[in-house]
Amino acid sequence: MSAMVIDGKVISAKVREEIKEEVMKMTDKPGLAVVIVGEDPASKVYVRNKEKGCEEVGFYSEVHALPERTTEEELLSLINKLNVRSEIDGILVQLPLPGHLNEKKVINSINPEKDVDAFHPVNTGKIMIGDYDFLPCTPAGVMRLLEESNIDVSGKNCVVVGRSNIVGKPQAMLLLRKNGTVTICHSKTKDLKAECRRADILVVAMGKARFITSDYIKPGAAVIDVGMDRDENGKLCGDVDFNGVKEVAGAITPVPGGVGPMTIAMLLTNTLNAAKKHGKR
């Protein structure tokens, strides 16, 4: 019996449709500003997709494309201006930044009420105590995929592979909030295979192409692949060996077309929530 494939394209389209319907009733449109520094090709693709997403749901959006040599002072000055502009509800600085810019300082300069990536320490802390305004887009997207696929987290053994501040840690918090019993694994975990095999819900965000094979999977488990890698032929793939694992798992997300589309849908959700917090109706 092959696993149910969780289609992120279909679910993200549903989320975007819900947002679009809300925006149509609003007199003031939510506004998103995206800042990109330098010429990183992957970053440029992400930014274009975010622009397209905004257009589709009826948001106001602007992109600030800055040259590689932009100084920290110039970048912080732009963020300060965006912080005070009322038509801008969300500010997103595309990471990674060029090496001469201090990522931490830049993130900390964004007004927490406009931090739609939820990377600011204030928002990270709010997630920790379960009283948050925004959720990081990828973990929030994973939760929505589980919910829409009728996969109940409560009481389940949930294993998260990866402990980044962007995915692994907040993902663990969100699963915990839904009453999952959560284990976080990483490069120093003693027996990764044994830990993964205990998971009813396995979320993989480690950045190693097709590393998780079928012998890591508990039969019937839900497997969520957050990885975005390239295989030996340069083809896009995830951290999970999809073809092998789908024969053992109960549900699985593909790469591409699984978690990826949800990330932008959740960014749009955060921007809409920010606009409402700013009194837009």
Catalytic residues, by residue number, are 50, 94, 117
How many residues are present in the chain? Answer: 281
> What domains are there in the chain, each with its CATH number?
28-111 (3.40.50.10860), 137-260 (3.40.50.720)
Is a pLDDT exceeding 80 seen at residue 1?
A: no
Is a pLDDT exceeding 90 seen at residue 43?
A: no
Instruction: Choose among 53, 62, 37: nearest CA to 272.
Output: 53
pLDDT value for 232: 87
pLDDT value for 196: 98
- DSSP secondary structure string, 26-83? -SSPPEEEEEEES--HHHHHHHHHHHHHHHHHT-EEEEEEE-TT--HHHHHHHHHHHH
Instruction: Choose among 78, 76, 68, 74: nearest CA to 100.
Output: 68
Instruction: Choose among 261, 246, 164, 270: nearest CA to 207.
Output: 164
Quick one: average pLDDT of 107-129?
Answer: 96
Backbone Cα Rg of the chain: 19
215-255 pLDDT tens trace: 999 999 999 999 999 988 889 999 999 999 999 999 999 99
pLDDT value for 151: 98
What b/e string do you get for 157-177 counting C-beta neighbours within 10 Å, with b at 16 or more?
Answer: bbbbbbbbebbbbbbbbbbee
The rounded distance, in Å, linking the Cα atoms of 274 and 69 is 31
Please, what is the end-to-end C-alpha distance for the chain in angstroms?
A: 48
pLDDT value for 279: 94
Is a pLDDT exceeding 80 seen at residue 104?
A: yes
Is a pLDDT exceeding 80 seen at residue 121?
A: yes
pLDDT > 90 in the chain, percent: 94
pLDDT value for 171: 97
126-155 pLDDT tens trace: 999 989 999 999 999 999 999 999 999 999
pLDDT value for 23: 97
In this prediction the pTM is 0.94
pLDDT value for 192: 98
